[in-house]
Structure 1
Amino acid sequence: MTDFLNAIVALSNFVLIPGAAYGAQLALGALGVTLIYGILRFSNFAHGDTMAFGTMATILVTWGLQSIGISFGFLPTALIALPIGIAITGLLLLGTDRAIYRFYRKQKAAPVVLVIVSIGVMFVMNGLVRFIIGVGDVNFADGARFVINAREFKEMTGLDEGLALRSTTLITLVTAAIAVALLFWFLNKTRTGKSMRAFSDNEDLALLSGINPERVVAVTWLIVAALATTAGVLYGLDKSFKAFTYFQLLLPIFAAAIVGGLGNPLGAIAGGFVIAFSEVLITYAWKKVLVYLMPENLEPSGLVQLLSTDYKFAVSFAILIIVLLFKPTGLFKGQSV
């Protein structure tokens, strides 16, 4: 029985808890992608670098607060800076829409044209972030590091395996849950949210009903700024910030949105966790768990790892290809918001 409990703790420590935190981060990112697709009707390839920009803005504000002696106690100071980072990112996205996307929208450009335009915006944003904050790793997490550490867990339980629950993991799960609840409340209960859903369902009918399309577009970009910045900051606190990492995150985020059903917010959340746990399960070295579960003479000598962690993004790509081939509408049928 003790060996079984040790196996459960090891599995939780290295698979379940990290997978849940990573899934929440991907889900928030995928929600931004699916909102743009459902309402503005194009795939925004600049979304990863929007996350990077929002995180960079939050980091700079965090440094400013720390320089004048402001902190958040045992919580990361970045949580205080997050609303300001969201506001700065919102202004950037509104400015980008007014300067670039609105022209093509008025010209009734094909979605593929907007996709190409978003790729150009992506490169500009990526270069801007690298120019301002650099290309190296930035660790901006302060406050308490652990809710419970491995040594304390071992002392409490007497098990050989120690469970370490990092504060950033708990913050990620709680913040993501609050953000998702607020988003669904806004879309379903407020007049503006209902206007956005109507615009997504039938643009022409929404216009005939007196809905202001520019207001819908502006609110969409502001929500996307909030989701992207929150996802980026949570990912940066959980790991560390590096501009190019967010460019790479675009693949698992799009995979999550498409696997769940592009244009479906519930699908984006489900897709985020599917992609996250797939990456973690396939790249995890199972020896540590199997040693507790298997007889001593059958214990594995190797790592029992299907793929190296260097190939975790290949897992996202493979799942994306499989879904596009066999169920292109996603696990949840892709539909409007």
Structure 2
Amino acid sequence: MENLANALVVLSNFVIIPALAYGSQLALGALGVTIIVAVLRFSNFAHGELMSFGAMSAVFAVWVLQWLGISIAPLSTALLALPVAIVMTVAIALLTDRFVYRFYRVRKADTVVLLIVSIGVMLAMAGIIRFAIGPDDRVFDDGVRFIISVADFKALTGLKEGLAIRTSQAITIVMAVLCVGFVFWLLKYTRIGKMMRAYSDNEDLALLSGVNPDQIVRWAWVLAATLAAIAGTLYGLDKSFKPIVFQQLLLPIFAAAIVGGLGSPVGAVAGGMIVAFSEIALTYSYKKVATYLLPEALQPDGMLQLLSTNYKYAVSFIILVAVLLVRPNGLFNGRPS
């Protein structure tokens, strides 16, 4: 029984808890992507850079707060900086829409054109971010590192393996639950949410009903940018902030959105978890788990690792292709909730 408990602790440390935190970050990113797809009807390839911009804004705000001697110890100062990051990200999203996307939207440009334009916006924002903060890693988590440490868990339980839960992981999961709950409440119970869903379902009928399209577009960008800022800041808090990483995250984020069904908020959350657990579970070495669960004669010599961690993003691609082949509309049929 003790061996089973030790195996579960190892799995929790290296698979379950990291996947929940990573899945929460992907879910928030995919939720922002799916809102733009549902309302504006194009895939925004610059969403990763919106996340990067939000995280960068949080880093700058943390530096200012630290210089002023303001903190909320034992929690990270990044939580105080988050509202600043949201405001800055919403501002850059609205400005980009006003001076870039609106030009093509007014002329009823094809969705492929808007997608290509978003790639141009992505490259421009990437250059601005690297010029502003540089390409290096930035660690800005200054709070207490662990809620539960390995030593404390071992002392409490007497097990050989110790469970470790980082504060950033707990903050990520809690924040994701709160944000997802708020988005679902906003879309289902508020006037603006109902107008956004009506506009997404049938644009012409919504316009005939008196829906203001400019207002819907603004709210869509505000919501998507807010989620991007939170997702980017939480990812940087949990790991570190490095601008190039957010371009790499585009694949798992879009994989999560497409797996769940583009345009489906429920699907975005489910897709984020599916992609995260798949990536981590398929690239983890299970040798240590096997040593606790198998008799000594059957214990393996190899690492019991299906894929190298170098192929982490390839897992997202494989999942994406498989879903497109088997169920092109995604698990939730791409219908807005």
Same fold (TM over 0.5): yes
How far does the alpha carbon of each residue in 1:201-235 deviate from its partner, in whole angstroms, 9 at most, with x for none? 11111111111100100011011111001001111
How much does 1:331 deviate? 1.2
Unaligned runs of 5+ in 1: none
1:184 aligns with 2:184: yes
> In 2, Cα distance between the equivalents of 1:176 and 1:70?
25
1:151-170 map, 5 Å: 151-170=151-170
Residue number in structure 1 paired with 2:20: 20
How much does 1:174 deviate? 0.5
How much does 1:327 deviate? 0.8
1:111 aligns with 2:76: no
How much does 1:196 deviate? 0.7
How much does 1:279 deviate? 0.2
Q: Is the 8 A contact 1:10 1:163 kept in 2?
A: yes
How much does 1:325 deviate? 1.0
Residue number in structure 2 paired with 1:247: 247
> In 1, Cα distance between the equivalents of 2:121 and 2:80?
28
Q: Is the 8 A contact 1:20 1:173 kept in 2?
A: yes
How much does 1:294 deviate? 0.5
How far does the alpha carbon of each residue in 1:10-62 deviate from its partner, in whole angstroms, 9 at most, with x for none? 11111000000100000000000100000000000000011001110111011
Q: Is the 8 A contact 1:187 1:193 kept in 2?
A: yes
Residue number in structure 2 paired with 1:65: 65
Unaligned runs of 5+ in 2: none
> In 1, Cα distance between the equivalents of 2:129 and 2:288?
39
Q: Is the 8 A contact 1:39 1:336 kept in 2?
A: no
CA-atom RMSD in angstroms: 0.7
Letter matched to residue 175 of structure 1 = M
Q: Is the 8 A contact 1:290 1:299 kept in 2?
A: yes
SS in 1 for 2:75: coil
Letter matched to residue 89 of structure 2 = T
Report the number of matched residues.
337
SS in 2 for 1:241: coil
SS in 2 for 1:311: helix
Q: Is the 8 A contact 1:74 1:143 kept in 2?
A: yes
Residue number in structure 2 paired with 1:220: 220
Residue number in structure 2 paired with 1:258: 258
> In 2, Cα distance between the equivalents of 1:192 and 1:332?
23
Moved over 6 A (4+): none
Q: Is the 8 A contact 1:283 1:307 kept in 2?
A: yes
1:313 aligns with 2:313: yes
How much does 1:336 deviate? 3.3
How far does the alpha carbon of each residue in 1:249-287 deviate from its partner, in whole angstroms, 9 at most, with x for none? 000000000001110000000000000000000000000
Residue number in structure 2 paired with 1:269: 269
SS in 2 for 1:147: strand
> In 1, Cα distance between the equivalents of 2:9 and 2:54?
35
> In 1, Cα distance between the equivalents of 2:310 and 2:128?
27
Residue number in structure 1 paired with 2:31: 31
> In 1, Cα distance between the equivalents of 2:275 and 2:114?
26
Letter matched to residue 77 of structure 2 = T
SS in 1 for 2:147: strand
> In 2, Cα distance between the equivalents of 1:319 and 1:190?
35
> In 2, Cα distance between the equivalents of 1:60 and 1:13?
31
> In 1, Cα distance between the equivalents of 2:297 and 2:9?
23
TM-score (structure 1 length as normaliser)? 0.99
TM-score (structure 2 length as normaliser)? 0.99
